[in-house]
């Protein structure tokens, strides 16, 4: 029947005789010659029908047979040593008459063959890239994948043999096979294409149905088709050195890849999650290292961060919109391997704060006594006073300030500040404590190096912490003037405030004794009894009496009087001779001590007059005139 016959199919020719014949093939098997356009003349060999009038001759199409315009059947049967006889023994006439038209009996047993194989363009292919191979046939090929999908084996240096699977081209002469690279694939000297297509249960046929020849011919050179689908992996993570990190310090993590990595931060900056006991999960952000295998990530400690048993590093890098790729373009693996031990990477950015300030006990403090203030922190603090000594400002009285200076406690949580009261200070309604510590060039830090918060919290009540360092002054007074002849000189003693402990024995006297001592509180009196003529003095030294708070008195003024209870004597002399005839006689009057109130009227003269009186103190002079006879 009319059709196109392919390899393996049979061309059956049925010869109808006018009577039955018997075929004997002992000497050979009869056949009918069949001419093909390609493949020459072939033989359709006797198959069956002996003893009947219908004989079947067959030719099975072989690969390479071809005839596009119909086969040609020979003019006669070739007995080929065999015999064809009727029942009477007559040889059959072998000429073929009335041969049917064979123009529609066509042969196509030429299988489609691969003419060339196009490989991917030279380059380095990475994870997710496609390696596409275009197989060009010399005929149109239809691919059937119902039973399986054909593929081409491709061998990689790393990753073994993989399959480039059919993806498109059925119904054309260009069939495309594809392999999508997966992580771990690698080939540094060019992929190797297999020698043939594997049908894998599928079929590749031409229009006639011939199975395509699967051998791959003229495969293009693939030495430049390189594969690097091995993503860079983290080999180790170098963590910060063991230590305690405080505010402002950096936690640096160096991520070491097994291949150089380029970091692109245009879409975001990658980071490592780092977990702290206090402060939650923070981000160590990428800093530098792009183009190398060492990437630096950093987190800068902020106040409030704390971890006493070692920070924890997350399981992987977070790309955060950025990319980390090798030279080939493979995305780096983000999992962190070989992370160093962080048990000793401690964080203490909890700033030391003052929890309370213990103030001096309620009392009135005097000169020389100490006002101690114990500043208690929430942790131990250390003082470095190389450049200065810290203090707390105190307000004592109205507008007077003083500094309670550090004295002890470095290395503990209780720091002592002290102010020693000096004379002249006073506060009768309680001192006031400043709001904060003044470092004055010193540094107060905790063990981790965090600067303390200087604000003073929980300051005790100081309304009962009073100061009276004003010493009682004392003054002496008398109603007598110097010199005096009074033998019992009254003296009043006045203190500026009430005192105790003052006795007559506390009074110092020179050239005299005391009597009639009396008084209390701030006022006293005593009589000073001169012991001899001359200077008599009285005074009170410091520290013999105390006010209510214990302040010693200051030294008093000194009263010095000249005691003179003896009358002065006078000597009268002249330079004139005796007798004399002078009418004016000079006279000198000399007292044994200075006197006052002496006038010329105090001089009694007989038989003369007085004139020219002069002098003062102990020396005086005058003239006697107008002597009578």
CA distance 426 to 394: 12
CA dist 192 and 190 (Å) reads 7
Domain shared by 493 and 421, yes or no: no
Give yes or no for a contact between 559 and 533, defined as CB atoms under 8 angstroms apart.
no
Q: 576: how many CB neighbours lie within 10 A of its CB?
A: 14
- The mean pLDDT value for 74-89 works out to 96
Residues in CB range of 88: below 8 A, 6 or more apart: none
CATH at residue 138: 2.60.40
pLDDT value of residue 627: 64
Within 10 Å of residue 230's Cβ, how many Cβ atoms? 20
pTM score: 0.62
Confidence at residue 628, expressed as pLDDT on a 0 to 100 scale: 59
Q: From CA 538, how far away is CA 490, in angstroms rounded? A: 11
Residues in a beta bridge with 253:
297
**562-581 pLDDT, tens per residue?**
998 888 899 999 888 888 77
Judge if 551 and 590 occupy the same domain.
no
Average pLDDT estimate for 37-50: 94
Those residues with Cβ within 8 angstroms of residue 280's Cβ, 6 or more apart along the chain or in another chain: none
- DSSP-derived secondary structure for 455-522: B--SBPP-TTEEEE--PPPEEEEES--SSB--SSEEEEEEESS--BS--GGGEEEESEEEEEEEEETT
Same domain, 165 and 262: no
- Same structural domain, 317 and 238: yes
Predicted local distance difference test score (pLDDT) of residue 580: 79
- Percent of the chain at pLDDT exceeding 70: 99
Q: How far apart are CA 299 and CA 307, in angstroms?
A: 14
SS3 state at 624: strand
If asked whether residues 130 and 200 sit together in one domain, one would say yes
Residue 198 has pLDDT above 70, yes or no: yes
Same domain, residue pair 331 and 359: no
pLDDT in tens, 337-372: 999 999 999 999 999 999 999 999 999 999 999 999
| Burial class of residue 261, CB neighbours in 10 A (0-12, 13-18, 19+) | buried
Segment 227-237, tens digit of pLDDT: 999 999 999 99
How confident is the model over 288-300, as pLDDT tens digits?
999 999 999 999 9
Domain match, 257 and 339 both:
yes
User: So what's the pLDDT on residue 567?
Assistant: 86
Look at 183 and 406; give whichever has higher pLDDT: 406
**Which pLDDT value is given to residue 552?**
94
In this structure, the answer to whether residues 453 and 488 fall within a common structural domain is: no
Report the DSSP beta bridge partners of residue 118: 134
Whether residues 182 and 286 fall in one domain: no
pLDDT in tens, 595-608: 889 999 888 888 88
End of a domain among 53, 82, 108? 108
Q: Are 251 and 299 a contacting pair, CB within 8 Å?
A: yes
What is the rounded CA–CA span in Å between residue 577 and residue 596?
30
Q: Are 151 and 177 in contact (CB under 8 A)?
A: yes
Give the CA diameter of the chain: 248
The string of pLDDT tens digits covering residues 219-229 is: 999 999 999 99
Is the pLDDT reported for residue 253 higher than 90?
Answer: yes
Containing structural domain, residue 611: 570-625
Q: What is the pLDDT of residue 605?
A: 86
Q: How far is CA 349 from the centre of its chain?
A: 10
User: Residue holding tokens 């392919």?
Assistant: 6
In this structure, what DSSP letter does residue 602 have?
Answer: G
Answer yes or no: do 118 and 213 share one domain. yes
Domain-terminating residue out of 68, 83, 108: 108
Calculate the CA dihedral of residues 196, 200, 204, 209 and round it to 10 degrees: 120
User: Could you say which of 198, 213, 228 is where a domain stops?
Assistant: 228
- Mean pLDDT of all residues in the chain? 95
One domain for residues 129 and 223: yes
pLDDT attached to residue 593: 83
Check pLDDT > 90 for residue 103. yes
- Which pLDDT band holds residue 585 (cuts at 50, 70, 90)? confident
Distance in angstroms (rounded) separating the CA atoms of residues 284 and 321? 15
Q: How many domains, in total, are found in the chain?
A: 6
The pLDDT confidence band at residue 629, using thresholds 50, 70 and 90, is low
Residue 21 has pLDDT above 90, yes or no: yes
Q: Are residues 191 and 221 in the same domain?
A: yes
């Amino acid at each position: 029947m009319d059709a196109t016959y392919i390899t393996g199919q049979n061309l059956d020719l049925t010869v109808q005789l006018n009577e039955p014949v018997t075929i004997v093939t002992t000497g050979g098997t009869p056949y009918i010659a069949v001419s093909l356009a390609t493949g020459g003349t072939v033989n359709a060999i006797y198959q069956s029908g002996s003893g009947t009038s219908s004989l079947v001759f067959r030719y099975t199409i072989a690969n390479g047979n071809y005839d596009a315009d119909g086969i040609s059947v020979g003019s006669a049967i070739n007995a080929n040593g065999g015999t064809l006889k009727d029942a009477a023994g007559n040889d059959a006439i072998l000429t073929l008459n009335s041969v049917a038209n064979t123009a529609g009996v066509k042969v196509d047993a030429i299988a489609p063959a691969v003419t060339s194989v196009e490989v991917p363009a030279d380059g380095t292919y990475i994870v997710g890239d496609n390696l596409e191979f275009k197989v060009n046939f010399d005929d149109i090929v239809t691919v059937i994948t119902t039973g399986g999908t054909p593929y081409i084996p491709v061998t990689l240096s790393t990753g073994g043999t993989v399959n480039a699977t059919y993806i498109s081209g059925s119904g054309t002469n260009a069939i495309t096979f594809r392999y999508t690279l997966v992580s771990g694939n690698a080939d540094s000297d060019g992929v190797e294409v297999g020698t043939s297509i594997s049908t894998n249960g599928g079929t590749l046929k031409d229009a006639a149905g011939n199975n395509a020849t699967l051998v791959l011919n003229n495969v293009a050179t693939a030495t430049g088709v390189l594969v690097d689908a091995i993503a860079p992996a983290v080999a180790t993570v170098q963590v910060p050195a063991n230590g305690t990190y405080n505010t402002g310090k950096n936690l640096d993590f160096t991520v070491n890849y097994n291949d150089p990595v380029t970091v692109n931060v245009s879409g975001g900056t990658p980071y490592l999650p780092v977990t702290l006991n206090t402060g939650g999960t923070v981000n160590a952000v990428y800093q530098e290292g792009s183009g190398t295998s060492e990437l630096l990530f950093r987190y800068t400690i902020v106040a409030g961060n704390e971890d006493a048993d070692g920070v924890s590093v997350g399981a992987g890098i977070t790309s955060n919109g950025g990319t980390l790729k090798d030279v080939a373009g493979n995305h780096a693996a983000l999992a962190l391997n070989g992370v160093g031990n962080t048990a000793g990477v401690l964080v203490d950015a909890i700033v030391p704060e003052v929890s309370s300030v213990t103030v001096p006990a309620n009392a009135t403090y005097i000169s020389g006594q100490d006002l101690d203030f114990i500043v208690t922190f929430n942790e131990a603090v250390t003082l470095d006073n190389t450049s200065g000594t810290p203090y707390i400002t105190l307000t004592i009285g109205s507008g007077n300030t003083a500094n309670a200076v550090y004295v002890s406690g470095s290395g503990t949580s209780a720091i002592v500040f002290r102010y020693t009261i000096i004379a002249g200070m006073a506060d009768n309604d309680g001192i006031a404590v400043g709001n904060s510590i003044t470092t004055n060039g010193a540094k107060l830090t905790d063990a981790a190096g965090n600067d303390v918060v200087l604000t003073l919290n929980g300051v005790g009540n100081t309304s009962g912490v009073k100061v009276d360092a004003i010493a009682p002054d004392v003054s002496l007074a008398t109603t007598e003037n110097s010199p005096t002849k009074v033998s019992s000189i009254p003296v009043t003693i006045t203190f500026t405030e009430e005192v105790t402990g003052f006795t007559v024995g506390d009074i110092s006297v020179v050239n005299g004794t005391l009597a009639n001592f009396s008084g209390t509180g701030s006022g006293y009196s005593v009589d000073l009894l001169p012991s001899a003529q001359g200077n008599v003095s009285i005074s009170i030294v410091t520290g013999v009496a105390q006010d209510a708070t214990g302040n010693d008195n200051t030294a008093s003024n000194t009263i010095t009087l000249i005691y003179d209870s003896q009358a002065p004597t006078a000597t009268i002399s002249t330079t004139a001779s005796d007798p004399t005839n002078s009418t004016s006689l000079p006279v000198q009057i000399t007292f044994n001590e200075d006197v006052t109130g002496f006038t010329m009227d105090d001089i009694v003269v007989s038989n003369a007059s007085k004139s020219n009186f002069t002098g003062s103190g102990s020396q005086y002079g005058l003239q006697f005139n107008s002597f009578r006879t």
